[in-house]
Amino acid sequence: MVMYMKEFCWLFSTIPEGVLTTVYFDGQGFGEVDPSFAGEFNLGASWRVFDTQGRYLDLGYNGSLFLPRLIDGWSRMPSVFGFNGDSIVTFFYFGGDLFGFVYQEPLLTYSDIPFYHSRSQQLPYTALFCIRLTQSNVAQPYLSVFGQFESYLRALQCPFITALCDDGGVRVFYVGLVDEPIKITAIGEGWSGFCEEHGFVDGDIICFKFNLLGASGFAYVYKVYE
């Protein structure tokens, strides 16, 4: 049920303190917040988002400055504010954890996504590698990789990669390299537990996205919904 409260609608006639643009993805249970926005304001654990009609939604905020996420309530955004599908959404920030829902448009291309976002794809500044999981590699403590993904990890010359997850979680994986008697490149240890924790199962497509500007050993890891 959509709730209405017009107590704060007058704020749309004022100048906002800030603007936040993010993306709503069907299937992604968490909203992503620009870290620079999170660092600029002293934000509380509960945000109230409302529009000019008085419709409103309360969102939980994890308070992280590294991977700031909107948690409780995020999946209800379309039903409350009347949109469908993957969308770019913009909020005005009025202070006091009050946000005005001011703009929504369908997401047409991944290059339109803000660069801070895990799903942003802006060549040549991002590298994306996707794997379809099998019953075998979900159950293994290590994930063996091949092709361009293998070449990328070897070129990094970094013994670890840091997986950044949709829920704001972080997991560091050792990168194992073997050349003899056969060439092996694997991510682990703890891969099977990671899959269980995040609900990754046989048949899922899992993507590793690296930003080539900055720390190249960090990868956003997420499931693609077909």
Question: Which residues have C-beta within 8 Å of that of residue 187, sequence separation ≥ 6?
Answer: 142, 143, 145, 153, 161, 173, 174, 175, 176
CATH topology classification for 126-224: At1g16640 B3 domain (2.40.330)
pLDDT of residue 1: 58
Residue 150's SS3 state is: helix
pLDDT of residue 4: 67
pLDDT of residue 212: 87
Confidence of residue 27 (pLDDT cuts 50, 70, 90): confident
Confidence of residue 122 (pLDDT cuts 50, 70, 90): confident
For strands 18-24 and 87-93, give the pairing.
antiparallel
Q: What is the pLDDT of residues 147-206, one digit of tens each?
A: 999 999 999 988 999 999 999 999 999 999 999 999 999 998 899 999 999 999 999 999
Cβ burial 164-187 (10 Å sphere, 16+ → b, else e): bbbebeebebebeeeeeeeeebbb
Pick from 32, 36, 75: which is nearest to 166 by CA? 32
Q: Are 71 and 60 in contact (CB under 8 A)?
A: yes
**Threshold 0.95, pTM exceeds:** no
pLDDT of residue 3: 63
Confidence of residue 2 (pLDDT cuts 50, 70, 90): low
The architecture (CATH level 2) of 3-112 comes to Beta Barrel (2.40)
In this predicted structure, the answer to whether residue 214 has a pLDDT above a threshold of 90 is no
Residue ranges, comma separated, of all CATH 2.40.330.10 domains in the chain are 3-112, 126-224
